[in-house]
Amino acid sequence: MKNKKDYKYCGYLYTKKLNKLDEMDKFLEIHGLLRLNHEEVENLSRPITRKKIELGIKNFSTKKMRTALS
């Protein structure tokens, strides 16, 4: 009996996920937004190195300082 319940629940979650994807597609179409291709998705999944984080913080601080001076 437990396996049947688990199977139904997994099916429910899967269909719910598919419905969310459909909603996301509709939203993207309505607002004219582009979808990411496979390569772009992979780039988002890559870990960020410490060097990149430090560079981002440095650039942000520089831009913030320029804004304060002007």
Instruction: Say which DSSP state 1 is in.
Output: -
Specify the number of domains making up the chain. 2
Looking at the fold, whether 46 and 63 belong to one and the same domain comes out as yes
Structural domain of residue 8, as residue ranges? 1-35
Looking at the fold, whether 14 and 30 belong to one and the same domain comes out as yes
Chain mean position to CA 41: 8
Q: Which pLDDT belongs to residue 56?
A: 85
Residues 6+ apart with CB under 8 A from 44: 36
Looking at the fold, whether 31 and 44 belong to one and the same domain comes out as no
Q: What is the pTM of this model?
A: 0.31
pLDDT, tens digit, 9 for 90 and up, residues 23-55: 877 877 777 777 778 888 787 777 778 888 888
Looking at the fold, whether 51 and 69 belong to one and the same domain comes out as yes
